[in-house]
Structure 1
Amino acid sequence: MSPTVAACQMAVDDLDVEANLETVEARVADLSDEVDIACFPEQALTGFVPDERIAEAAIPRDSVEIDRLRGSAADADCDLLVGFIEDDDELYNAAAYVRADGTVDIYRKRHLWAGEAALLEPGNALLTLETPLGKTGVLTCYDLNFVEESATLTEKRLDALLVVGAWPATHSDNWRLLVRARALDGVRWAVGTGRTGRRDVEDARVVDYTGRSLVVRPDGGIRAELNTAERDLVVELADEALPRQRELVGIFED
């Protein structure tokens, strides 16, 4: 049976970690047994505001909250990818890949957007993993704009790319275009999971988020996508699609 992925599109309660964690736990518990990986948006656990309040919401990687994600993954027998602001002396825009066996890997966003740069440190390493989708890379939101990241990952011949995002609704078309491009230029599956809803926090700029989560085939075509609803996009990734496209487009040899 081909692997199945869920892009769990959600609105986020900025600075309310408990509310967000409960949402993630409930969404994972409601997934079908066929789902192998469930992906949640950038900063899904913490949200983000561009001031010192984000430090109060930040989570260490050895926290109770990450332990609860381990429990959800184990109960559902499903790997999870969940974005959050990580507290590790410095603050990072991070995404935790939590396996059903309890092991965790952390990716730290390498390219910080706008107000992030004044408060967070950039990550310094790309992350590739063995997952139910095969060899898999992780990127976060603005990382998509940097073609050199994709080129480096292409050298690793990834089978899939998982992207967590919180893309502003004003630039919705760019999000969709870039996820498609990163699938096509590496001849791999790409799963983009977006934040939806609105950030409306006192003393912070209001932001509407695009949602538009999507699963993209290795030829750059959209396999399935959402609009702005809080829904799970559950897609089985056909085993034959990747080798067929790589036979047609021989970028690794050429």
Structure 2
Amino acid sequence: MRATLVQIDVDPAETPAERRGRVAALVRAQAGADLVVLPELWPVGAFASGEFAAEAEPVEGGPTAEAMSAAARDAGVWLHAGSVVERDPAGALYNTSLLFAPDGELAAVYRKIHRFGFDSGEAVLMSGGDRVVTARLPFGVAGLATCYDLRFPEQFRLLVEGGAELLVLCAGWPARRLAHWQVLVRARAIESQAYVLACGTAGTHAGVEQAGHSVVVDPWGEVLCEAGAGEQVLSCELDVGLVGRTRAQFPVLRDRVLRG
């Protein structure tokens, strides 16, 4: 299968509406890929917490969902559309990822479980999800996660127990912790014996420089392709059958003793 990560520069001079149009065009240009992945909160910026409430939208019928559904359909790709600030019918805000099928139908929704910010930002303004989400795609089972989730290996173990072979992570990771990103992405791949497709943002928004360095890592922890710091479209070929072969050849998952 061919996976494409679109590392978007979240430029504060660009309005969310302008960015939606530009990103939709980028997605349409990826016709021929099997799976396209976008970053976390790219319409507004992961650290632009002061704009979360104003830019919140519903999952069904929201401007980002509508634009990404149409782009997925036009390109004929599975599209992990990154995440949006969702406002649910009760008024609560969530950091919510959307997965679209090649016909434009919404195939899966994941609300970020681990909210970043400690006592500020996302951690205060948003509610946390309570469900681990996997989705069966024609080329393998995808497990969905978002940014700060990367630091919690128990979530990834639950995704693997749910059948995940592809761990798809959207992020808005800061440049000052790039080294953590690079180590943790490889660690999740090695311990899960799964591919990790980790797509982050570029540029600087809300005064926070973004790490970029979107990356695809195989089940042995080998980096297959990695972006730089700027906006970039990153593509590589994956052999999803390698997941099963790796787990059979080196059966560490079978040998677990301590379980939650």
The verdict on a shared fold, with TM-score over 0.5 as the criterion, is yes
Q: Determine which of 98, 101, 107 is the counterpart of 2:100.
A: 98
Identify the residue that residue 110 of structure 1 maps to in structure 2. 113
Report the 3-state secondary structure (helix = DSSP H, G, I; strand = E; otherwise coil) of the residue aligned with 1:195: coil
CA distance in 2, matches of 1:35, 1:245: 24
1:18-37 residue pairs with structure 2 within 5 A?
Answer: 18-31=17-30, 33-37=31-35
Identify the residue that residue 244 of structure 2 maps to in structure 1. 243
CA distance in 1, matches of 2:202, 2:126: 23
> In the TM superposition, what is the alpha-carbon distance from 1:71 to its structure 2 partner?
1.0
Identify the residue that residue 55 of structure 1 maps to in structure 2. 53
> In the TM superposition, what is the alpha-carbon distance from 1:77 to its structure 2 partner?
0.2
One-letter identity of the residue aligned with 1:74:
R
Question: Which deviations, in whole Å up to 9, do the C-alpha atoms of 1:18-55 show, x marking residues without a partner?
Answer: 12211211111222x3201110100012224223x321
How many pairs are equivalent? 245
One-letter identity of the residue aligned with 1:76:
A
CA distance in 2, matches of 1:133, 1:87: 32
The RMSD of aligned alpha carbons is 1.5
CA distance in 1, matches of 2:33, 2:138: 10
Identify the residue that residue 84 of structure 1 maps to in structure 2. 84
Question: Which deviations, in whole Å up to 9, do the C-alpha atoms of 1:171-214 show, x marking residues without a partner?
Answer: 001111111111111111110001110014xxxxx100000000
**For structure 1, which runs of at least 5 residues remain unmatched after alignment?**
201-205
One-letter identity of the residue aligned with 2:233:
D
Identify the residue that residue 258 of structure 2 maps to in structure 1. none
> In the TM superposition, what is the alpha-carbon distance from 1:240 to its structure 2 partner?
4.3
> In the TM superposition, what is the alpha-carbon distance from 1:239 to its structure 2 partner?
4.2
Identify the residue that residue 224 of structure 2 maps to in structure 1. 223
Report the 3-state secondary structure (helix = DSSP H, G, I; strand = E; otherwise coil) of the residue aligned with 1:196: coil
Question: Which deviations, in whole Å up to 9, do the C-alpha atoms of 1:119-146 show, x marking residues without a partner?
Answer: 1111111110012441110100000101
CA distance in 2, matches of 1:148, 1:182: 10
Contact 1:133–1:159 (Cα < 8 Å) also in 2:
no
> In the TM superposition, what is the alpha-carbon distance from 1:241 to its structure 2 partner?
2.4
CA distance in 2, matches of 1:145, 1:215: 17
CA distance in 2, matches of 1:65, 1:43: 10
One-letter identity of the residue aligned with 2:203:
G
CA distance in 2, matches of 1:17, 1:59: 12
Contact 1:13–1:46 (Cα < 8 Å) also in 2:
no
Please identify runs of 4+ aligned residues in structure 1 that moved more than 6 A: none
- TM-score if structure 1 supplies the norm length? 0.91
Question: Which deviations, in whole Å up to 9, do the C-alpha atoms of 1:88-110 show, x marking residues without a partner?
Answer: 12111111111112221211111
Q: Determine which of 120, 130, 138 is the counterpart of 1:124.
A: 130
Report the 3-state secondary structure (helix = DSSP H, G, I; strand = E; otherwise coil) of the residue aligned with 1:253: helix
**For structure 2, which runs of at least 5 residues remain unmatched after alignment?**
256-260
Report the 3-state secondary structure (helix = DSSP H, G, I; strand = E; otherwise coil) of the residue aligned with 1:162: strand
- TM-score if structure 2 supplies the norm length? 0.89
Contact 2:58–2:86 (Cα < 8 Å) also in 1:
yes
1:51-200 residue pairs with structure 2 within 5 A?
Answer: 51=50, 53-62=51-60, 63-82=62-81, 83-88=83-88, 89-104=91-106, 105-114=108-117, 115-200=121-206
Contact 1:9–1:195 (Cα < 8 Å) also in 2:
yes
State the percentage of identical aligned residues.
Answer: 30
CA distance in 2, matches of 1:168, 1:218: 25
CA distance in 1, matches of 2:215, 2:149: 17
Identify the residue that residue 210 of structure 1 maps to in structure 2. 211
Report the 3-state secondary structure (helix = DSSP H, G, I; strand = E; otherwise coil) of the residue aligned with 1:130: strand
